Amino acid sequence: MKITIDKNITYGEEAFSQVGDVQTVDGRHLTNGMLFGTDALIVRSVTDVNEMLLKNTPVKFVATATIGTDHLDKEFLQSAGIKYISSPGCNSTAVTEYILALLSNIANKHENTLVGKKLGIIGVGNIGRKVAECARILGIETILNDPPRERIENNNIFSSLEETLEADILTFHTPMNRGGKDNTFHLLDESKIFRLAPGKIIINASRGAVIDNLALLNAKKEGQNIDFFLDVWENEPGINQELLKYTQIGTPHIAGYSLEGKINGTKICYDAFCEFTGKRPEWKPVLPPVENNIIDVTGLTLYPALKKIFDVVYNIDEDDKNLRAYGSNIASHFDTLRKNYRVRRELKNYDIFSNDDKLVNLINYLKTI
């Protein structure tokens, strides 16, 4: 079996070389001609997998080491009899911790508290559920919006999008659906953006086009009092540099880039391929230990303690600084920032000492997911 793998998939070559001959490629610039003789293709979200890419190739298995599938032409894959899988939930803990790092940052700018703030969670899947549970532990009231879940579960825990947009802080965790009753393309469009109440805070760690980036920029330029924190952007890697200037914290699509999250994606793809081929899955990733993993925040109140923890575990300001460092050359370095991303470990690897009950409960929860 010949397996073509995006070279930026963590441990990808190590895992798949045990079950076939591996060819590594630049997933952003993968072409049809590179897939001559390829039986299986393992990609990330930067590769559009469609008929143009796979035409006249022997590819019979496609896996993406990502949660989202909007880069896969599922209709074509099904019609061509090509098995495809994604990696749902692989980096949900990493993204949850990214959101917590942002909430800590926001709290620090609001006198170290989010008391009285409501968190609107749009998309309550693998990530949104965890964010909601963390908010509950922290004592933050949530408003949940997820039409597909609402239809299936038929319960009263969900609110309409319009009601959810009344929350003080909005965080988006939806897939990218273009069209249909669950369309999420420009879910937050120009009309909704300009109707937002002053002081609104917007977080997007889902897909860039869930929010109309140009409308967001225009609203800010016209003096609308909103703050936004963006990990994902329309037209990556050629992101809107003017929008970045107005962004409170901007990062290069790395919310889920913990080492654990990356390896989870690889493992899901590897196990699925072994099942597809009838091979026994023998590869087990070995993660390096975390040194200096003791963090003592005893005596600090909740949000100052949380900030101190994330200053050690995941300093999100560093990602923001690195993205802005390239100025007008961001497009040519966006993928480099992702490829050369530092090793980031999840909070479960740290021993944290605190006498704040909410924080203790939060840490215990994060160690279980």
Could you tell me the CATH number of the domain that includes residue 362?
Answer: 3.30.1370.170
**How would you classify the pairing of strands 294-296 and 141-145?**
unpaired
Is the C-alpha dihedral spanning 200, 312, 7, 279 positive or negative? negative
Domain for residue 52, yes or no?
Answer: yes
Residue 85 β-bridge partners? 63
Q: How far apart are CA 121 and CA 118, in angstroms?
A: 10
Per-residue pLDDT of the chain (369 residues; tens, 9 = 90+): 999 999 999 999 999 999 999 999 999 999 999 999 999 999 999 999 999 999 999 999 999 999 989 999 999 999 999 999 999 999 999 999 999 999 999 999 888 889 999 999 999 999 999 999 999 999 999 999 999 999 999 889 999 999 999 999 999 999 999 999 999 999 999 999 999 999 999 999 999 999 999 999 999 999 999 999 999 999 999 999 999 999 999 999 999 999 999 999 999 999 999 999 999 999 999 999 999 999 999 999 999 999 999 999 999 999 999 999 998 899 999 999 999 999 999 999 999 999 999 999 999 999 999
Spell out the residues 6+ positions from residue 179 whose beta carbon is closer than 8 angstroms to its own.
185
In the chain, the number of structural domains is 3
| 240 and 140 both lie in a single domain | yes
Both 233 and 333 in a single domain?
Answer: no
> Is residue 271 domain-resident?
no
Length of the chain in terms of residues written: 369
The encoded tokens of residue 173 equal 């965790």
Q: Are residues 66 and 105 in the same domain?
A: no
CB 354 within 8 A of CB 360: yes
| Residue in this structure with the two tokens 């924190």, named with its chain if needed | 229
Same-domain status, 61 and 186: no
Could you tell me which residues come within 8 angstroms of residue 12 by beta carbon, excluding any fewer than 6 positions away?
Answer: 5, 6, 22, 24, 42, 65, 266
Close Cβ partners of 19 (under 8 Å, ≥ 6 residues apart): 1, 3, 270, 273, 274, 277, 279
CA pair distance 177, 126, nearest whole angstrom = 17
Evaluate whether residue 265 is within a structural domain: no
Tell whether 50 is covered by a domain.
yes
The residue behind tokens 């050359």 is 329
Q: Can you give the pLDDT at residue 328?
A: 86
Q: Say if 280 falls within a structural domain.
A: no
Instruction: Please report the pLDDT score of residue 348 as a whole number.
Output: 97
Q: What CA–CA distance (Å, rounded) separates 50 from 74?
A: 8
236 is catalytic: yes
Is 298 in contact with 353 (CB distance < 8 Å)?
Answer: yes
Catalytic residue, chosen from 186, 253, 333, 338, is 253
State the catalytic residue, choosing from 44, 129, 186, 207.
207
Q: Is 202 exposed, middle or buried (0-12, 13-18, 19+ CB in 10 A)?
A: buried
Domain containing residue 327: 294-366
The domain boundary, picked from 86, 107, 142, lies at: 86
- Asked if residue 4 lies in contact with residue 25, where contact means CB atoms within 8 angstroms, the answer is yes
Percent of the chain with pLDDT over 70: 100
Q: What is the CATH number of the domain that holds 82?
A: 3.40.50.720
Q: Which residues contact 322 (CB under 8 A, 6 or more apart)?
A: 252, 337
137: in domain: yes
Sheet holding 226-230, edge to edge: 141-145, 118-122, 169-172, 200-204, 226-230, 249-250
Place of tokens 């930026």: 8
Going along the chain, which residue ranges are E strands? 2-6, 21-25, 40-43, 61-64, 83-85, 118-122, 141-145, 169-172, 200-204, 226-230, 249-250, 294-296, 351-353
Question: Do residues 102 and 159 share a domain?
Answer: yes
Residues 96 and 230 in one domain: yes
C-beta of residue 192 within 8 angstroms of C-beta of residue 200 = no
Tell me if 158 is assigned to some domain.
yes
Is 207 an annotated catalytic residue?
yes
Name the catalytic one among 236, 344, 345, 346.
236
Active site residue 186: no
Neighbours of 108 (CB within 10 A): 14
Q: Quick one: 98 and 236 in the same domain?
A: yes
| Residue 154: predicted pLDDT | 82
214 lies in the same domain as 121: yes
Which token pair is 28? 């952003």
- Asked if the structure places residue 268 within a domain, the reply is no
Are the beta carbons of 145 and 210 closer than 8 angstroms? no
Q: Do 246 and 98 fall into the same domain?
A: yes
State how far Cα 105 lies from the chain centre. 18
Of 86, 105, 123, the residue that ends a domain is: 86
- Residues 96 and 204 grouped into a single domain: yes
* Cα separation, 95 vs 332, whole angstroms: 25
Verify that 56 and 170 share a domain, yes or no. no
- At 301, is the secondary structure helix, strand, or coil? coil
Q: Which pair of tokens denotes residue 193?
A: 């953006």
Residues 313 and 233 in one domain: no
